[in-house]
Structure 1
Amino acid sequence: MVTGELRRQVDKVWDAFWSGGIANPVEVIEQITYLLFIKRLDDLQLLAEKKASRFGDPVENPIFPVGHDEHAVSPRPYRDLRWSVFTNYSSSEMFDVVSEHVFPWLRRLGAEGSSYARNMRDARFTIPTPALLTKVVDLLADIPMDDRDTKGDIYEYMLGKLATSGTNGQFRTARHIIKLMVDLQQPRPDDVIIDPAVGTAGFLVAAEEHLREHHPEIWADAGSRTHFNGPMFTGYDSDAAMARIASMNMLLHGVDNPTIERADALSEGHPGLDQYSLVLANPPFAGSLDDETVAKDLQKVVKTRKTELLFLVLMVRMLRNGGRAAVIVPEGVLFGSSNAHKAVRKLLVDDHKLDAVIKLPSGTFKPYTGVSTAILLFTKTSSGGTDNVWFYDVRADGMTLDDKRTPIEADDLPDVLARWRSLRPPIGERARRDETSPVFDEPSNPRTAQSFLVPKQEIVDNNYALSLNRYKEIEIEEVEHRSPAEILDELDALELGIQDGLKRLREMLA
């Protein structure tokens, strides 16, 4: 978390943009991301040069080749495009290099036909003056970006300023909620992961971080490394700026060639069917779309214009059999009475395997929205398989449930993960469990507990309702009260004591 002096430094960068005439938060984030990305490219080249010099070898596939950029109108050496070089120029020359040379080169950087190349085609440098560029560059230089965790925290803090993204049903998912969802589904080295509403790529970044931490064997195999740096990660977003930010965010986190497409995932050009093994998403749930804009194959499954229902259908269709999903839905999906709502719930329960419904506190997505939400975990089977659905009532997520969302001690999320793993340990986890591992007997939990299992047939009998409150039992504690006469006798005794005390006080004063 960004606090204290580091937070003040980041706020100075933000304030510099606002005072310099750039007030759109998305544009601010985009321009900062470009600069951080350019700095990251130079850092990578420096690492490659140090490694090559140790062995006396030339740099393989240098980001900044030797020679001049022949594509430029007035060619300059590629060396001039490096952060460590142009930041030492005068304000006016640095502004000229960045606007006239670095940005055109940045747009050409991706492999021909890659999603990066498509997204960056419209990248624009919008910092208006040399003075503002110099100020921002100097401020960024003072912020420590070497540590991976610190860099992630800083970037997340800046993304948290995208309050305007709360419009149109799109808003940023808190990092700790993303991490919970990723940990629940345990990404594996052979997974093919997609977020069909990718935003700034928070879910994909968390997935790659999980893989780096838990699967170091990826780096020992060339095929695994190639898969990690390309086919493993896919994201779609209808907003061009978000697609560009997502592309650079993945590259900043060390994924070389993910597929990040600017496209409406619900349209006819939606992601391929039966291709992915893991979906991680918090899709927008802003209301209704026009029938003409929605893919016909989705409309055949469920006749609706509600985005939250259409995205669920899309996710099922994108997954290959055996694929799994963790997705945030508004609570209305769990109990809505329309034919479309019931059809989608029936699809998950009867045709596939609904694993869990994790109810989140109503303030989880403040300040963007106070809508109550839940996490659905399901597995695509195309042949049913739902037996018992696990419900968990999250009452605290480690943050206050007001607009400020400041950290507190109360936090159910570690317990959610521990109990889920007791039900479904990760592959290989059973062999590693020992007497120090927590043991939970979830199947025997009563309906008054914070988590419990509900049989499929009971859900079917309740019209496929998935609201936790439909199945949770309220435990009424019996309290034995004293009789009124006993209370009155006690009051009489107290009154006598008071009178006696007053009498003795008067005697002392006489």
Structure 2
Amino acid sequence: MITGEVKNKVDKIWTDIWAGGISNPLTVIEQLTYLMFIRSLDEKELENESFENLTGETMPKIFPPTEAGQNLRWSRFKEKDPRAIYEIISQQVFPFIKKMNGSSQTAFSRYMDDAMFLMPTPQVLQKVITGLDELYEQDLSGRDMQGDLYEYMLGKLATAGQNGQFRTPKQIRDLMVRLVAPTPDDKICDPACGTAGFLVTSAEYIRETYEAQMTAVQWQHFDTDAFSGFDTDRTMLRLSAMNLMLHAITNPHIDYQDSLSKQNELASRYDVILANPPFTGTVDAESINDNLKAVCNSKKTELLFIALFLRMLKKGGRCACIAPDGVLFGSTKAHKTLRAELVENHQLQAVISMPSGVFKPYAGVSTAILVFTKTGAGGTDKVWFYDMKADGYSLDDKRNPIAANDIPDIIARFHNLAGEVDRAKTEPSFLVDKQDIVANGYDLSINRYKEVIYEQVEYDPPEVIMARLDQLAGEIGVKMAELREMING
């Protein structure tokens, strides 16, 4: 966990870059990530050299064995004059990492093509290098802490994207991953991946749950085919690739692709889909893939993405996705058709209503988590509803940690739905029969089914209330008279 002291150090580095003239948080994160990556290359080389010295086994070299090649290493240049450091990184190291994999088609190689080194001055660069060195040597140890550092930096992205994307808080990602429980054999995808938060959280869950028992074949799958993500923003793809790399996932499938377009023909490919797709805006009807229109004839992205998830999942594949409340109760034909598709042709398992403050400070939109399994043959018998009131953080713009947190209860109850059978509809969670949902036009809003108990309040008769008021008036008169006597002496 990142401590307050570490946060202060990161904030100091951030302020140094900001003072140098870079105010876009995405650009700051990009530039810091490049430097973190450059440093990690040298650390990896040092590990390889230590292994060679111990075993005598020759290890592959990251940096050329020449004097010029060795000068590209962080440990070689970090103590030099600021102007020399700036020249080495901008003119030698940065071009080297952009082309370091040659013709390799790793995600990192593809999206570094148009990367730019934008550190404003040698002095700012030196401050950042000194700050990062101090962080790594004194505060960070291993993959987990580095991942936490990156998560904290991504948390500074306080502006929503033009198409309605915004970062999903880590506790919500953790919840969704634990609901679908990915395994080491699964292929996991986020078709609107942003900074790859869902993929990273899935990787952390798999390591945490299965690391001790994973086979060599499963580790190979973990490093290559397990994680896929798509986005239409190259900056986001670059951050995705680096985010995954900093979490020790070196060969993910991160691709530039409009997931809703005719160019995306992926179908029945994935075991798990986790996503928070764009909520707002519409897309050009001509560009939408025809087989999505067959499920949901709409230009609304929030509906089209759910139809896309159904297409991309294998039979038996699981999905947890975030949807705005309008998806749950919208009255258009497209809204109703999509909900009927989930309920009638697949297995809709859960609708978890979230409070509107979950995505602050980005947005105050009310959302829900939909959990379903692709079957192609129905299977919805009962749908589990949960009315989440708290996620462990205040629901204002500050989002400070608080004690109230429904997430552990949601996870425990979802994985024991047999225990929910007798829960009354006045409880925070309950099951609703499929026929009730059908009878209500496939409305999936929890308020449609939740029952509220109104306590009857009995008031005294008017004459009793009036008598009480007369008594109070008399008492006030007495006290006023006593007060006047005290004042007049």
Which whole-Å deviations, capped at 9, do the CAs of 1:117-172 have from their partners, x for residues lacking one? 21122222122322221121112222233254443332222212222334320111
The question of 1:20 aligning with 2:30 is answered: no
TM-score normalised by length of structure 2: 0.92
SS in 2 for 1:328: strand
One-letter amino acid matched to 1:92: R
Q: Contact conserved, 1:352 with 1:385, CA < 8 A, in 2?
A: yes
Q: Contact conserved, 2:360 with 2:397, CA < 8 A, in 1?
A: yes
Taking the TM superposition and a 5 Å limit, the aligned residue runs for 1:468-487 are: 468-487=446-465
The question of 1:353 aligning with 2:352 is answered: no
Taking the TM superposition and a 5 Å limit, the aligned residue runs for 1:483-494 are: 483-488=461-466, 490=468
The question of 1:160 aligning with 2:159 is answered: no
SS in 2 for 1:163: coil
Q: Contact conserved, 2:147 with 2:246, CA < 8 A, in 1?
A: no
Which residue pairs with 2:124 in the alignment?
132
Aligned equivalent of 1:90, options 76, 81, 86: 81
| Aligned counterparts of 2:189 and 2:76: Cα–Cα separation in 1 | 38
| Aligned counterparts of 1:498 and 1:241: Cα–Cα separation in 2 | 72
| Aligned counterparts of 2:278 and 2:480: Cα–Cα separation in 1 | 70
| Aligned counterparts of 2:285 and 2:119: Cα–Cα separation in 1 | 40
- 1:496 to partner: Cα distance: 6.6
One-letter amino acid matched to 1:401: L
Taking the TM superposition and a 5 Å limit, the aligned residue runs for 1:192-211 are: 192-211=187-206
Distance 1:238 1:489, change over 3 A: same
Distance 1:336 1:505, change over 3 A: closer
- 1:422 to partner: Cα distance: 1.4
Moved more, 77-86 or 403-412: 77-86
| Aligned counterparts of 2:337 and 2:144: Cα–Cα separation in 1 | 43
Q: Contact conserved, 2:421 with 2:430, CA < 8 A, in 1?
A: yes
- 1:500 to partner: Cα distance: 7.5
Which residue pairs with 1:56 in the alignment?
55
Distance 1:291 1:498, change over 3 A: closer
Gaps of 5+ in 2: none
- 1:286 to partner: Cα distance: 1.7
Which residue pairs with 1:435 in the alignment?
none
Taking the TM superposition and a 5 Å limit, the aligned residue runs for 1:72-151 are: 77-110=68-101, 112-143=104-135, 144-151=139-146
Aligned equivalent of 1:443, options 410, 421, 429: 421
- 1:193 to partner: Cα distance: 0.2
Aligned equivalent of 1:344, options 294, 313, 338: 338
Q: Contact conserved, 2:179 with 2:411, CA < 8 A, in 1?
A: yes
* Root mean square deviation, CA, Å: 2.3
Which residue pairs with 1:464 in the alignment?
442
Which whole-Å deviations, capped at 9, do the CAs of 1:11-60 have from their partners, x for residues lacking one? 2211222221222221111111111112222223333333443x422353
| Aligned counterparts of 1:109 and 1:210: Cα–Cα separation in 2 | 31
Aligned equivalent of 1:279, options 273, 282, 287: 273
Q: Contact conserved, 1:357 with 1:390, CA < 8 A, in 2?
A: yes
SS in 1 for 2:163: helix
Which residue pairs with 1:216 in the alignment?
211
Distance 1:503 1:209, change over 3 A: same
Distance 1:454 1:402, change over 3 A: same
Moved more, 259-268 or 273-282: 259-268
Gaps of 5+ in 1: 69-75, 425-440
TM-score normalised by length of structure 1: 0.89
Which residue pairs with 1:438 in the alignment?
none
Q: Contact conserved, 1:165 with 1:171, CA < 8 A, in 2?
A: yes
Which residue pairs with 1:32 in the alignment?
32
Which residue pairs with 1:181 in the alignment?
176
Aligned equivalent of 2:311, options 313, 317, 329: 317
Aligned equivalent of 1:191, options 186, 198, 222: 186
Count of residue correspondences: 484
| Aligned counterparts of 1:238 and 1:185: Cα–Cα separation in 2 | 26
One-letter amino acid matched to 2:76: V
SS in 2 for 1:390: strand
Quote the sequence identity (%).
49
| Aligned counterparts of 1:49 and 1:327: Cα–Cα separation in 2 | 45
One-letter amino acid matched to 2:433: P
- 1:494 to partner: Cα distance: 5.8
The question of 1:246 aligning with 2:240 is answered: yes
| Aligned counterparts of 2:47 and 2:320: Cα–Cα separation in 1 | 37
| Aligned counterparts of 1:212 and 1:61: Cα–Cα separation in 2 | 26
Q: Contact conserved, 1:218 with 1:224, CA < 8 A, in 2?
A: no
Which whole-Å deviations, capped at 9, do the CAs of 1:413-439 have from their partners, x for residues lacking one? 111111112128xxxxxxxxxxxxxxx
One-letter amino acid matched to 1:42: D
- 1:375 to partner: Cα distance: 0.4
Q: Contact conserved, 2:51 with 2:57, CA < 8 A, in 1?
A: no
| Aligned counterparts of 2:311 and 2:345: Cα–Cα separation in 1 | 12
Which residue pairs with 2:8 in the alignment?
8
Q: Contact conserved, 2:390 with 2:405, CA < 8 A, in 1?
A: yes
Q: Contact conserved, 1:182 with 1:210, CA < 8 A, in 2?
A: yes
Which residue pairs with 2:289 in the alignment?
295
Distance 1:47 1:218, change over 3 A: farther
Distance 1:480 1:33, change over 3 A: same
One-letter amino acid matched to 1:125: F
| Aligned counterparts of 2:301 and 2:173: Cα–Cα separation in 1 | 20
Q: Contact conserved, 2:354 with 2:366, CA < 8 A, in 1?
A: yes
Distance 1:129 1:497, change over 3 A: closer
Moved more, 105-114 or 210-219: 105-114
One-letter amino acid matched to 1:199: G
| Aligned counterparts of 2:159 and 2:483: Cα–Cα separation in 1 | 68
Q: Contact conserved, 2:233 with 2:256, CA < 8 A, in 1?
A: yes
SS in 2 for 1:235: strand
Moved more, 477-486 or 203-212: 477-486
